[in-house]
Amino acid sequence: MIDVLYFAWVRERIGVPREKLDTTAVTVRDLIAELVAREERYELAFADLDSLRVALDQELSSFDAPLAGVREVAFFPPMTGG
Amino acid sequence: MKLQVQAEPFDLGAESNAFAAGVLGAGAVVTFTGLVRDNGGALAAMEIEHYPGMTEKAIAAMMDQAMVRWSLADALVIHRYGRLAGGEAIMMVATASRHRADAFAAAEFLMDYLKSRAPFWKKELSADGAEWVAARDEDEAALGRW
């Protein structure tokens, strides 16, 4: 089981802030493909990966990163702090 | 080092004074404060969302880096989340060093990194509705100078 978190408009499009998923995905990209195949709201949220960022266990990462050993995946738009 | 991520307002004067009082030996203190722009009265409120846990880790890592790179005497970051009105202070950075150039550079470095690498997202609420603030290319490009 892996915790998947969503922030900002990604959260709004998917409709939940977090969920626990059973997945066989090897990379982040595989996980996204699994989600997109599930329901339209995921397709909507992941339509443009250039406008998304991913963090693995709270560290910024890349879509090709492996998920082995990862407990928490977070998807969000580019950050706007400060 | 002091790092606070909080919903409550902070007292800019009191924080600045306490910071400056705690850095004996430093000759320079630089502070920066970010405010909510009211967009000529059009903004009803700003909502700031963040990623608890990652926010603190990401900012602490930036601060550690700044402390070493500019041999800072001390550094402070306070960043708010939740609902803010126009004119309210969103965040502040303070840096202290022996000479001013290091304190200025470190404050700018921290600001550039907070903009694009601290997991906060701003949403502007107005009479026309709500809109997520888009990240600016210039902000991302600004990281290149460090």
CA geometry: angle at B103 spanning B98 and B105, to 5°? 135
| CATH assignment at residue B60 | 3.90.1170.40
Per-residue pLDDT, B41: 85
CB atoms within 10 A of CB B72: 23
* Rounded percentage of chain B residues whose pLDDT exceeds 70: 100
Cβ-Cβ contacts under 8 Å, B91 against chain A = 81-82
- Dihedral angle over CA of A72, A75, A77, A81, nearest 10: -10
Q: How confident is the model at residue B38 (pLDDT cuts 50, 70, 90)?
A: confident
Q: Determine the distance in angstroms separating the CA of B26 from the nearest CA of chain A, rounded to an integer.
A: 25
In eight-state DSSP terms, residue B145 is: G
Q: How confident is the model at residue B40 (pLDDT cuts 50, 70, 90)?
A: confident
Chain A residue closest in CA terms to B54: A58
Cβ-Cβ contacts under 8 Å, A82 against chain B = 34, 90-91, 111, 114-115, 118, 120
Assign B139 to helix, strand or coil: helix
pLDDT tens sequence across A25-75: 999 999 999 999 999 999 999 999 999 999 999 999 999 999 999 999 999
Residue B8 has pLDDT above 90, yes or no: yes
Query: Which domain, by its residues, includes B80?
Result: 2-145
Answer yes or no: is A48 within a domain: yes
| CB of B132 closer than 8 Å to CB of B123 | yes
Q: Determine the distance in angstroms separating the CA of A18 from the nearest CA of chain B, rounded to an integer.
A: 12
| Closest by Cβ to A79, choosing from B53, B111, B118 | B118
Residue B46 has pLDDT above 90, yes or no: yes
Answer yes or no: is A33 within a domain: yes
Residue B22: C-alpha distances to residues B19, B76, B95, B97 (Å): 5, 11, 11, 12
Residue B62: C-alpha distances to residues B41, B81, B112, B146 (Å): 34, 19, 10, 12
Answer yes or no: is A81 within a domain: no
Per-residue pLDDT, B39: 83
| Closest by Cβ to B132, choosing from A9, A55, A59 | A9
State how many domains chain A has: 1
State how many domains chain B has: 1
d(Cα A61, Cα B143) in Å, to the nearest integer?
17
Residue A13 has pLDDT above 90, yes or no: yes
Per-residue pLDDT, B26: 96
Q: Average pLDDT of chain B?
A: 96
| Buried/exposed B118-128: b ≥16 CB within 10 Å, e otherwise | bbbbbbbeeee
d(Cα B134, Cα B81) in Å, to the nearest integer?
17
Q: Determine the distance in angstroms separating the CA of B74 from the nearest CA of chain A, rounded to an integer.
A: 19
Answer yes or no: is A82 within a domain: no
Q: What is the pTM of this model?
A: 0.95
In eight-state DSSP terms, residue B134 is: P
A79/B120 CB distance under 8 A: yes
Query: Which domain, by its residues, includes A51?
Result: 2-76
Residue B42 has pLDDT above 90, yes or no: no
pLDDT tens sequence across B71-126: 999 999 999 999 999 999 999 999 999 999 999 999 999 999 999 999 999 999 99
| CATH assignment at residue A9 | 3.10.20.30
Cβ-Cβ contacts under 8 Å, A17 against chain B = none
Per-residue pLDDT, B12: 97
